A and B are shown apart, each in its own frame.
Chain A
Amino acid sequence: MATEAPARTDQKVLTWKQDLRWARVWDELARLPLLPITILAVVLLAGVLAPVIAPHDPADFELNRSMMPPAWDPKGSPDYLLGTDKLGRDILSRIIWGARISLVVGFLGVGFAGTVGSILGLAAGYFGGRTDAIIMRIVDIKLSVPGFLLALVLAAVIGPSLQTVIIVIVVTLWTGYARLVRGETLSLKQRDFVALAKVAGCSPVRILFKHILPNLVNTIVVLATIQLGSVIIFEASLSFLGLGVQPPTPAWGSMLADGRQYVASAWWLSVFPGLAIMLMVLSTNLAGDWLRDRFDPKRRQV
Chain B
Amino acid sequence: MIAAHTNGVPAATGSAPLLQLEEVRKYFPVRRGLAWWRPAGQVKAVDGVSLTIDEGTTIGLVGESGCGKTTVAKLLLLLETPTDGAIRFYGKDVRQLRGREVQTYRQTVQAVFQDPFSSLNPRMRVRDIVAEPLVVHTKLSSQEVRTRVGEVLDVVGLSSHSRDLFPHEFSGGQRQRIAIARAMSLNPKVLVLDEPVSALDVSIRAQILNLLMDIQRQYHLTYLLIAHDLAIVEHVSTLCGVMYLGTLVELSESRELYGNALHPYTKALISAVPIPDPEANVESLPISGEIPSPLNPPSGCRFHTRCPFAMPRCSAEIPLLRAVQPGHQVACHLFD
A positions within 8 Å CB-CB of B:
1, 3-4, 6-9, 14, 191-193, 195-202, 206, 210-211, 214-215
Contact = CB atoms under 8 A, between A and B. Distances in A.
B203 A7 contact: no
Residue from A1, A8, A200 whose CB has the most chain B CB atoms within 10 Å = A200
Interface stretch (B129-137, B272-280, B314-322): B129-137
Contacts of B174: 4, 6-7
B77 A193 contact: no
Contacts of A201: 102-103, 106-107, 133, 136-137
Given A192-B118, A199-B110, A206-B136, A4 B203 contact: yes
Contacts of B161: 7-9, 14
B171 A4 contact: yes
9 contacts: A6-B157, A6-B158, A6-B159, A8-B159, A199-B78, A200-B106, A201-B133, A206-B136, A210-B132
B50 interface: no
A196 B111 CA distance: 7
B281 to A, nearest CB: 35
B323 interface: no
Interface stretch (B119-127, B215-223, B251-259, B262-270): B119-127
Interface string B150-184: 00000001110110000000110110010100100
A89 B102 CA distance: 70
Contacts of A198: 77-79
A100 to B, nearest CB: 35
Interface of B: 74, 77-79, 102-103, 106-107, 109-111, 113-115, 118-124, 132-133, 136-137, 157-159, 161-162, 170-171, 173-174, 177, 179, 182, 201, 203-204, 207
**A1, A192, A202 — which one has the most chain B CB atoms within 10 A of its CB?**
A192
B79 A202 contact: no
Nearest to B107: A201
Contacts of A214: 121, 123-124
Contacts of B171: 4
A200 B182 contact: yes
Nearest to B128: A210
A14 B121 CA distance: 23
B119 A197 contact: no
Contacts of A200: 106, 110, 132-133, 136-137, 182
A210 B115 CA distance: 20
A266 B115 CA distance: 68
Nearest to A6: B157
A195 B173 CA distance: 20
B79 A3 contact: no
Give the 3 A-B CB pairs with smallest separation, nearest first.
A192-B119, A6-B157, A201-B106
Contacts of B201: 3
Contact of A195 (B113, B124, B137): B113
B309 to A, nearest CB: 40
A4 B106 contact: no
Contacts of A206: 136
B161 to A, nearest CB: 5
B207 A4 contact: yes
Contacts of A7: 158-159, 161-162, 170, 174
Nearest to A217: B123
A178 B170 CA distance: 34
B132 A193 contact: no
A199 B79 contact: yes
Nearest to A193: B121
A210 B124 CA distance: 9
Contacts of B133: 200-201
B118 A191 contact: yes
A72 to B, nearest CB: 53
A43 to B, nearest CB: 31
A90 B195 CA distance: 73
Given A7-B158, A7-B161, A7-B174, A192 B136 contact: no
Nearest to B110: A199
A192 B203 contact: no
Nearest to B117: A192
Nearest to B177: A6
Nearest to B115: A192
B121 A215 contact: yes
A4 B103 CA distance: 36
A259 B120 CA distance: 58
Contact of B121 (A1, A199, A211): A211
